[in-house]
Structure 1
Amino acid sequence: MKELRENQLESIMKGRRSVRVYQPNYRIPREELTAIIETAASAPSSANLQPWRVVVVESEEGKKKLRPLVMFNTRQNDTSSAMLLIFADTRYYENADYIYNLAVEQGKMPPEVRDQQLGMIKSYFPSLPPEKSSEVTRFDCGLFTMQLMLTARAYGYDTNPMAGFEADQLAEAFGLDAERYVPVVIVSIGKAAEAGYPSVRLHPDQITFWR
């Protein structure tokens, strides 16, 4: 059996902790946050339609607005370098032409494959029932969010994913169309001031079924 040697990815994954208190005066440079988001956006998504949208709340004004909406997660809001609000764009399929034309322009896809894929996308995704469309976009946003946290760890930052927030108020509070943009998760990011607790995981024998 082959063994992993000097595997940085394993170290990043197993070293990740949910950190709730950060160094309050530390600010992540905007170019680094942009690079983290760009890397995270390499995550797979249904038909490569990339439904995730990110609102970066880093200003004092923005955090003051967010504070009453994050319930019991105020420590993260008050001390983090930024709070990343991850939304699902319910009209994600409207970017299909742009994405697939760009793939052809960059030589990543033959025109005939683009045409075939676009035909399928335009007949399938817009007609999905709302609950199924929500399932698709939330799943994809989850993949993006996990890559976001691991990328942040690779840059030397810590994160905490949060589901405790006022979902019905979040989009409107930050100037987004609440009918179109659905909040999925909030991720705090910064330099840890208090280490996150290590946690246990179920053994593969407890979560795997061999058939």
Structure 2
Amino acid sequence: MKNIDIEKRKEEILNAHKFRFACKEFDPDKKIPEDDFNFLLEVGRLSPSSFGFEPWKFVVVENEELREKLLPVVWGVKRQMPTLSHLVIILARKSSDVIYSSDYITHMMKDIHKMPEDKVKERREKYRKFQNEDFKILNNDKDMFEWSVRQTYIALGNMLTAAAEIGVDSCPIEGFHKEKLEKLLEDEGILDREKFGVSTLVAFGYRKEDPHRDKTRRKMEEVVEWIK
């Protein structure tokens, strides 16, 4: 019975991935129920990250006036904006927050991970070596930010898949002018540019119509190499 349940679950997961596509136009008459959207946010919140430091923030834009202001600088959402149900801007923490010695990292270790003082010291040193020696990003603000961005994409991927599993459509969006968007969010009092930068955006809703073609992907043998 257990094996049957596993096979059924595997099939459901694969079907969700086949169902998911980058939706360009949503049904304007259908909105995602609050419980379902909170579920997607919870999936993002519970997502894994390097060292468990969660260098992200999810900004849910419901304000119609702000949505209009976004259009000139987020060209990738112009088709979806009139019909989407929810729009999320995913922020990534900058070097001032993710450097090994920052108050944020101390907060994560002490207040969130509940580490005793000796473990905090040990973990901080391990993280310092990771930044300085393993990835060599310690003295490069851009590389530190890009490390944070990579973590946000784990959360993004989980949210996209979870959405598909409950029949919600989505579209990740990288079509934006980063400098102009961050300036707009700063002017609106939403973004502290000393601590955060924009990683990506994602639109959620329900498709207006099914895609006109089946999902296309490279064959498994083109994607996977086995080293035995």
| TM, length-normalised to structure 1 | 0.84
Aligned residues of 1:163 and 1:186 also touching (Cα < 8 A): yes
What's the counterpart of residue 200 of structure 1? Answer: 216
* RMSD (CA atoms): 2.6
Task: Tell me the amino acid that sits aligned with residue 6 of structure 1.
Answer: K
**Given the alignment, which residue of 116, 119, 122 partners 1:116?**
122
Name the CA shift for 1:65/1:29 in 2 (closer, same or farther; >3 Å). farther
Aligned residues of 1:159 and 1:189 also touching (Cα < 8 A): yes
What's the counterpart of residue 97 of structure 1? Answer: 106
**Given the alignment, which residue of 181, 184, 190 partners 1:173?**
184
Name the CA shift for 1:75/1:184 in 2 (closer, same or farther; >3 Å). same
What's the counterpart of residue 189 of structure 1? Answer: 204
What is the deviation of 1:92? 3.7
Larger CA deviation: 72-81 vs 124-133: 124-133
Q: Which runs of 5+ in 2 are unaligned?
A: 132-136
Name the CA shift for 1:173/1:148 in 2 (closer, same or farther; >3 Å). same
Q: Which runs of 5+ in 1 are unaligned?
A: none
CA displacement 1:145-171 (0-9 Å, x = unmatched): 111111222332110011111211222
Indicate the SS of the match to 2:47: coil
Name the CA shift for 1:199/1:70 in 2 (closer, same or farther; >3 Å). same
Aligned residues of 2:74 and 2:181 also touching (Cα < 8 A): no
- Residue-pair matches, total: 207
Counterparts of 1:57-136 in structure 2, within 5 Å, are: 57-90=61-94, 91-93=96-98, 94-105=103-114, 112-121=118-127, 125=131, 127-136=138-147
Larger CA deviation: 123-132 vs 138-147: 123-132
Identity of aligned pairs, percent? 22
CA displacement 1:102-130 (0-9 Å, x = unmatched): 4554xxx6664344113433676593412
Task: Tell me the amino acid that sits aligned with residue 86 of structure 2.
Answer: A
Indicate the SS of the match to 1:28: coil
| TM, length-normalised to structure 2 | 0.78
CA displacement 1:71-125 (0-9 Å, x = unmatched): 25312111101211112111443422222224554xxx66643441134336765
Indicate the SS of the match to 1:113: helix
Indicate the SS of the match to 2:162: helix
Aligned residues of 1:104 and 1:114 also touching (Cα < 8 A): no
**Given the alignment, which residue of 11, 35, 47 partners 2:15?**
11
